[in-house]
Structure 1
C-alpha cells in the first residue's frame, strides 16, 4: 500500500536538505540526467540474456530504437561505454538497447548465430530474447515500430545480419561491423575458436546460395527488406576480411542487385566505400573496407556514419582519426583494477582485458602496459593500438574509449599464438601506475 507523503514545512525541508548535504548524500548530477539502466522481466527470454537501455532526456514522442550489440567476451555495459551510440542518442533522440549475451561457444558471451533454434524465425534462443527487448521499449518508451535498427561489433555484427534475415518486418536498416553473412556457421562445432569453415578463410558460396539462405529464414515474406551497411578492416584475421565480400554477395542478391557497385568513394582517409543502389537510386547495400584495420571496429566516427545511414540525422558525420590512431596519454597514473579472461585452443588464444578506473578522477588518455607469459605473441587486437617488444605489450586507447570516468570500465582484447602456456598476462600498469587484478 502506498502511504501519501505529507508536505514538509519550508523550515523542515531546509533542515533536511542541509543534513543530507552534510552527509554527502545529495547527488551532484541532476536526477533527470540520462544513464544506462538495467531492465529485468522484459519478456520471453530463452537466450537467458541481460538487457540495459539508454533513454536520452530529450527525445521525440515516438523515438527511434537502436539495438546495439557487443562482441564475444563483452557486455552491454562495455559496449555502452566503449562506443559512440549513447552520445549520438543524446544528440538525435533515439533509444539504445544494449543486450548482453550469455552463450559460451568457446569464447564466452557470444550471440547465438549457430544453433538451429536461432536460425528459425521464432525458433528460440537469442533472437527471441532480442525481439522481446524491442517490444519492451516500444511499450515502455513509445518506441516507433517503423524506426527500429540493428547494429553490432564482431559477434554483435554477426547477429545484426542474422536479425535482418529473420525479422525483415521489424528492422528498417542495419549496420554490421566485422560480421559474417546469415547462415555462415553450420552449428556450434563450426563456431570459433574451434576450427571453423566460416571464419577459417575457406567459406565461398555463390550470391544466390547466400541469398537463398536469407529467403529461407522467413519463407513467403514479400515485404520491404531493410538496407544494410557492412564494415570490415582489411587487416582483420580473427574474422577474415574476405567475409565482407561474402556478406556483400548475400545482401545484393537478396535485393536483386548485381555485384558491381553503382558508386565508390573514400568519405574519410582509409575508408573505401562501395554502394549498391536499385533502379530508384536508393542505396540498399553499402560496404566499407577500412584500410589496415584489424579486429577493432567501430572506431571514431563510424557509429555516426551508421546513424546517418539509418536516416536518424541529416548532418554529415564529422571526420575521425585514422583507424587505430591512439591518443597521447598524459603523464602520471590513477587507481586501476584489471580483470583478464583467456580462451585458448590448439596454438592460439584470445584474451579480453577489462580496465576499471578505481581512482577519484577521470582518466583522459591511457596506456596499459603488461607482460605476456613465455611463448605468447600478439597477432591482432581490438579496442586499442598495440605495441610489442618481446613479451612486453603496451595497449594505448583509440579515440572512442580514451576517457574512463571514476568507477567506469573499458574492455580491450587481443589474439595471440602460444607454445603451451595459456595463462593470462601479468604486471598490469595504467599510465605508469600498477593495477590490482581480480
Structure 2
C-alpha cells in the first residue's frame, strides 16, 4: 500500500481507497488519467490509500470465494486491513471510508461494497462488473493469476435484480446494517468489460439499496454522458458515456460531492 497524506489533513480525516486497473499498480494509478485525487486531498484534507495487487499480472482477486466473503481472506480483506491501519496510524475516520476504482479496481470496489458494507460508506466503479459476476469455481486466493470470467467480461452474465442483490448479500450472511452508496460509470464502446455489465450493476445495487429508477438526465455531468438517477439520487447513480471505451475519465469532484466530502 501507498498512502497520500494531505498537506493539511483533517484531524479525523475521510479515507479514500483508490484501486488500480488490471496490469496497473498503486504508483501508476496515482497519475492515471491525470486524476486530481491528490490535489483535491490537499484542499479537503482527506487520506488516500493506493493498494497494489499482489498478483503477477497486477489484477485483483475478485474471483475466489475467499475474497468475495466477509473476513474470508483474499485481496478484499487485505484492503480492509489497510483501512484499519490508516485509521490507527494516520487518524482516519472509520465512519467516512470510501473506495473508487477502474476496471479490475472497479470490480474490487463492488466486492468491497458487498463483502464489507460495515467498513465502506460509498464506492465508485469505473468500467466494472457486478459484485460476484467474476466468481470462478475453484479460484483460490493468493494465486499469481486470479481467475478470469469470459462470460461476465463479455456481458453475457445476466440476472434479475433480486438474484444479483441476493448474491451481493450472500457474501456477508447475517448482516442487517446499511450498504454503501454506489456510483457507476461505463462507456458504451467498452470492449474489455462490455457495456451490458452497466445495466447488471445498476440492477444489483438498486435491489440492495432498495431504490427504483427515477429518471435519466442527458448531457450530465458533461456532453454525451447520460445520468441515471435512482430514488432521490443520494444512494445510487449511474453514468453512461456515449462512444467511450474502457478508459472512462475519472470525475473526482462528482464522486466527492456524492460522498459528501
TM-score, normalization: structure 2? Answer: 0.92
Deviation at 1:263, TM superposition (A): 5.0
Q: Distance in 1 between matches of 2:137 and 2:203?
A: 24
Structure 2 counterpart of 1:103: 55
Compute the displacement of 1:201 (Å). Answer: 2.6
Q: Is the 8 A contact 1:103 1:109 kept in 2?
A: yes
- Change in Cα spacing, 1:194 to 1:143, as seen in structure 2 (3 Å) is closer
The separation in 2 between residues aligned to 1:70 and 1:167, in whole angstroms, is 19
For 1:201, the equivalent position in structure 2 comes to: 155
Alignment check: 8 A CA contact 1:263 1:276 kept: no
Cα distance in structure 2, aligned partners of 1:291 and 1:193 = 30
Q: 1:75 to 1:123 in 2, by over 3 A?
A: same
Matches within 5 A, 1:258-297: 258=212, 260-262=213-215, 264-265=217-218, 266-277=220-231, 281=232, 283-297=234-248
Q: Indicate the SS of the match to 2:95.
A: coil
Q: Secondary structure at the match of 2:203?
A: helix
How far did 1:264 drift? 2.7
**5+ residue gaps in structure 1?**
1-50, 313-438
Which protein is bigger by CA-based radius of gyration?
1
**d(CA) in 1 for partners of 2:194, 2:27:** 27
Match of 1:362 in 2: none
Q: Secondary structure at the match of 2:164?
A: helix
SS of residue matched to 1:256: coil
Contact 2:63–2:146 (8 Å) recurs in 1: no
Mapping of 1:56-135 within 5 angstroms?
Answer: 56-82=6-32, 83-104=35-56, 108-135=57-84
Q: How does 1:155-304 map to 2 (within 5 A)?
A: 155-187=104-136, 196-258=150-212, 260-262=213-215, 264-265=217-218, 266-277=220-231, 281=232, 283-299=234-250, 302-304=251-253
How far residue 194 of structure 1 moved from its aligned partner, in angstroms, is: 5.7
**Deviating runs (4+, > 4 A) in structure 1?**
188-195
**Kept in 1: contact 2:18–2:48 (CA 8 A):** yes
Paired residue secondary structure (2:199) = helix
> Partner of 2:211: helix, strand, or coil?
coil
Q: Normalised by the size of structure 1, how large is the TM-score?
A: 0.55
Q: Classify 1:174/1:272 alpha carbon distance in 2 versus 1 (closer, same or farther; 3 Å).
A: same
SS in 2 for 1:57: coil
Q: Distance in 1 between matches of 2:163 and 2:230?
A: 19
Q: Is the 8 A contact 2:6 2:47 kept in 1?
A: yes
> Against the structure 1 CA distance between its residues 194 and 224, is the aligned structure 2 distance closer, same or farther, given a 3 Å change threshold?
closer
Deviation at 1:103, TM superposition (A): 1.9
Larger fraction in strand: 1
In structure 2, list runs of 5 or more residues that go unmatched.
Answer: 140-144
The answer (yes or no) to whether the contact 1:178–1:233 under 8 Å persists in 2 is yes
Q: Root-mean-square deviation (CA), in Å?
A: 1.9
Return closer, same or farther for 1:238/1:193 CA change in 2, 3 Å cut-off: farther
